[in-house]
């Protein structure tokens, strides 16, 4: 297994970029009060109720 070390600022920046690029247009219109978890290494996403 490869371990990628990121700076403390890089992980949230990557998550924001993935959200804007792949997720936002799909979830914001129909999934109010939901949380999205994004694995920045795998780009896996999970939608959950807050």
pTM over 0.75: no
Assign 50 a pLDDT band (cuts: 50, 70, 90). Answer: low
- Which has the higher per-residue pLDDT, 6 or 50? 6
Give the separation between CA 50 and CA 5, rounded to whole angstroms: 29
Q: Phi, psi (5° rounding) for residue 44?
A: -65, 145
Q: What is the pLDDT of residues 15-48, one digit of tens each?
A: 899 889 988 888 888 887 788 888 888 877 777 7
Instruction: Please name the residues in contact with 21: beta carbons below 8 A apart, sequence gap of 6 or more.
Output: none
| CA neighbor of 31 nearest in space, from 50, 13, 12, 18 | 50
């Amino acid at each position: 297994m490869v371990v990628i070390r990121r700076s403390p600022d890089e992980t949230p920046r990557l998550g924001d970029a993935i959200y804007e690029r792949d997720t936002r247009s799909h979830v914001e219109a129909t999934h109010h009060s939901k949380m999205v978890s994004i694995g920045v290494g795998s780009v896996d996403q999970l939608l959950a109720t807050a």
